Amino acid sequence: MSLSGKILSVFGLGGHHDCCGQGSQATQPGLKKVAIVGSPNVGKSLVFNRLTGARATVSNYPGTTVSIMRGKARLDGHDYEVTDTPGMYSLLPITEEEGIARAVLLTEKPDVVLHVVDAKNLERMLPFTLQLIEAGLPVVLSLNMTDEAEAAGIMVDAARLEEVLGIPVVATVATSGRGMDILRRRLGEHARNQGCAA
Amino acid sequence: MLETRAVPLKYDEALESALSRIESLLKGSYGVSRRAIGLLLLQGDRQVEKQVSEQDAPSFAGIQGIVAEARARYNQPLSYVIALRQQHEVKRILSATVTAKAKVGAGFAERLSRLMMSPITGVPILIIVLYLCLYQFVGVLGAQVAVKYIEDTIFGEWINPWVTELVTTYVPVTLVQDLFVGEFGIITLGVRYTFALILPIVTTFFIAFSIIEDSGYLPRLAMLIDRVFKFIGLTGRAVIPMVLGFGCDTMATIVTRTQESKREKVITTLLLALAIPCSAQLGVVFAILSGNVMALLIWVLAVFLIFLLVGYLAGKVIPGERSSFYMEVPPLRWPKLSNVMVKTLARLQWYFLEVFPVFIIASILLWAGKLTGAFDYISSGLEPLVRFIGLPPETSTIFLYGFFRRDFGAAGLYDLNEAGILVGVPLVVSAVTLTLFVPCIAQFSVMVKERGVKTAVAIALFIFPFAFLVGFVLNWALTSLGVSL
């Protein structure tokens, strides 16, 4: 950064302002890309942190992430660039940060789209999965917060769901790390399969 | 393993025929399937319409015709028709894959959650949360106990004497001595303000805030005060940026992105810039007014009334539709200590990277200003204003600090109170005026980035005289009522 740039950023002029200092804004060329999408407050940022080892801010309310975060992850033996997006309920954006999230899908051509959902509220979450499939995007579905779903007496048959939807489905608990190894492997596999198909 | 291929959902005949006609007209490259683009067009997505009008200009009129034709065939908006079809499909899928056991009664968390959102029990709970987290933890523990110790013992007894000795011994020129240890010295002002005053206050605030946000209380608070916010033309959605503003208004201004309409964003930005004190301001105000309950109440009431009044007027003046409010309410959870710590550290790091250089540069500018006389010139320019609201002339310095950062001005207020220059009515008046006073440089630059130059400048131009006007009215009211604090 030039000296004048430094001085400007000291006064907050021109510098990037975010409460989450980690993760950079620019996309890296050459690396295969994974984009994380989903409704607000389903744990996208926690999954992002688990995959990349970054420390994106995580809270228990919708709308913690308002801008795009990027990090690097090693999945199934290969390096990927992982993008965390602000929450969006569907492919049809309502607010500004939903627009930011959708732009990632429309313009960046991710190699895999990881749709993180709250396993307790599948009825409200799955329409977006259908839209992502409709859009021809290579989707992997992460049934997150499986522990809370189980505690509420909700049992999801992930294998059966995988068959019906025709996409990889992995049950996860991002807070404890449960299912994250399987998720890493399935993401890597799916990304490579896409490469073969293309 | 054989890779199963996902099959897109089928809609009814009229939609499918419209879709296939649109798809055959789309030739551009869109990053997603033509089917998805077609569906978004049918649902009236502006952004996609614009993209298609650019990439498929020749056939755009034809596409619009197909969309209009399809719309005419349904009584409901197509976005509703499409969403309904997707809902049905999801229900069908879930019936084959999910089993749910019937729940037995409401658990403790659920009952507490309801109590938090009902007005009768929610308001007392809010007051308890504010009292424990803001007043006791930030105001007393952070702003009094910790500040006293770091300020008096660490700086007063160790660092200041040692550095002063060091500088006066090795640097013979008074001018240069002043740069480090003078009235506006880098060590005695910049470093001391950062570490002795701001650090303990902001740290305690960020810890309290992280615990509150991880518990899931904020969305419930949003539901609780949605009605109050409706009065000022906002919805409960504005609660999170507002509460975050008590941490740092600059951060909070970025978070206004979560709001739906431009109108809401402008009102929230204005209120953040005007009537939401940041954590350092809040902590300092609690610290210096806590000895006097009456003074603290006047401050709280004055700032709250201004918040409501300006919010209400802005809601009337700023055009645009009121948006409806709906927010997911996540379950109440026990905050995880590790996440609270990680978040607090990340926020502190962000905060200090921003605040520390500004304090140092401000110290240097103030020192240079003193040297060249520019400082006295600006100070004396502010003096009539300061007198106008009944404050001693020394106060003009802290308003000058306030231009750099809100917390810098607040730290100055703390110093003047310690020195016995600001007490009683003038103390409350200056605390209120300084709370409302201009957004700091960082916040202003974010306002420009998020809202545009025109709006940002207009807000700043409104706030500057308005803050002094409020100070004047408050001073006049308190003195003519004969209030002694």
Helix (H) or strand (E) holding A70: strand A69-75
Is A29 at the interface with chain B, CB within 8 A?
no
Please say whether the beta carbons of A153 and A147 come within 8 A.
Answer: no
Q: Are residues B89 and B218 in the same domain?
A: no
Where residue A15 falls (left for φ over 0; alpha for ψ -120 to 50; beta otherwise) is: beta
Asked if A106 and B4 come within 8 Å (Cβ–Cβ), the reply is no
Q: Are residues B267 and B392 in the same domain?
A: yes
pLDDT at B325: 67
How far CA A24 is from CA of A28, B121, B255, B409, in Å, comes to 10, 44, 18, 32
Q: Are residues B83 and B149 in the same domain?
A: no
Number of domains comprising chain B: 2
CA distance A12 to B447: 11
* Residue A15, pLDDT above cutoff 80: no
CA distance B213 to B363: 35
Q: What percentage of chain A carries pLDDT values higher than 90?
A: 47
pLDDT at B103: 62
Is B214 at the interface with chain A, CB within 8 A?
yes
Which residue would you say has higher pLDDT here, B468 or A13?
B468
Extract the tokens encoding A16: 């990037």
In chain A, the residue whose alpha carbon lies closest to the alpha carbon of B443 is A12
Q: Are residues B20 and B88 in the same domain?
A: yes
Residue B380 covered by a domain:
yes
B354 Cβ neighbours under 8 A, 6+ residues apart:
A12, B250, B442
Instruction: Please name the residues between 388 and 447 in chain B that touch chain A, using a CB distance below 8 Å.
Output: 441-443, 445-446
Q: Are residues B366 and B271 in the same domain?
A: yes
Extract the tokens encoding B250: 């600059």
pLDDT at B474: 94
- Closest CB to A160: pick one of B96, B327, B339: B96
pLDDT at B353: 82
Helices first, then strands: H and E counts in chain A: 7, 7
Domain ranges, residue B20: 13-94
Q: List, run by run, the mean pLDDT of 10-residue segments along chain B (485 residues).
A: 66 94 92 93 91 93 94 91 92 91 73 89 91 85 88 87 87 84 81 85 88 88 82 80 83 83 89 88 82 88 93 84 69 86 85 82 86 86 88 87 81 87 89 86 86 93 93 93 81
Please state the three-class secondary structure of B195-235 as a single string. Answer: HHHHHHHHHHHHHHHHHHHHHCHHHHHHHHCHHHHHHCCCC
Looking at the complex, report in whole angstroms how far the Cα of residue A191 sits from the nearest Cα belonging to chain B: 12
Q: Are residues B376 and B321 in the same domain?
A: yes
Residue B107 covered by a domain:
no
Neighbours of B91 (CB within 10 A): 11
Calculate Rg over the CA atoms of chain A: 17
Q: Are residues B422 and B455 in the same domain?
A: yes
Asked if B31 and A61 come within 8 Å (Cβ–Cβ), the reply is no
Q: Are residues B328 and B261 in the same domain?
A: yes
Q: B248 has which bridge partners? A: none
Residue B160 covered by a domain:
yes
In terms of average pLDDT, the best of A15-29, A59-73, B332-346 is: B332-346
Task: Assign A170 a pLDDT band (cuts: 50, 70, 90).
Answer: very high
Q: Are residues B31 and B131 in the same domain?
A: no
Q: Which residues of B touch A153 (CB under 8 A)?
A: 100-103
Task: Average the pLDDT over A165-179 and give the result.
Answer: 94
Please say whether the beta carbons of B447 and B459 come within 8 A.
Answer: yes
Closest CA to B351 of A69, A21, A1, A66: A21
Residue B238 covered by a domain:
yes
Please say whether the beta carbons of B329 and B219 come within 8 A.
Answer: yes
**Domain termination residue (choose one: B94, B126, B141):** B94
Is A147 at the interface with chain B, CB within 8 A?
no
Q: Are residues B353 and B459 in the same domain?
A: yes
Q: Are residues B76 and B146 in the same domain?
A: no
**Domain termination residue (choose one: B62, B94, B126):** B94
Closest CA to A40 of A92, A91, A98, A109: A98
Looking at the complex, report in whole angstroms how far the Cα of residue A74 sits from the nearest Cα belonging to chain B: 22
CATH class (in words) of the domain with range A14-197 = alpha beta
DSSP assignment of B404-473 equals H-HHHHHHHHHHHHHTTSS-HHHHHHHHHHHHHS---HHHHHHHHHHH-HHHHHHHHHHHHHHHHHHHHH
Residue B100 covered by a domain:
no
Residue B264 covered by a domain:
yes
Provide the ipTM: 0.83
Task: Average the pLDDT over A120-127 and give the result.
Answer: 92
Which residue would you say has higher pLDDT here, B315 or A66?
B315
For the domain that residue B86 is a member of, what is the CATH number? 1.10.287.1770
In chain B, the residue whose alpha carbon lies closest to the alpha carbon of A156 is B98
Residue B99 covered by a domain:
no
pLDDT at B319: 76
Q: Are residues B204 and B322 in the same domain?
A: yes
Strand bridging mode A112-118 / A154-156: unpaired
A197 Cβ neighbours under 8 A, 6+ residues apart:
none
Helix (H) or strand (E) holding A69: strand A69-75
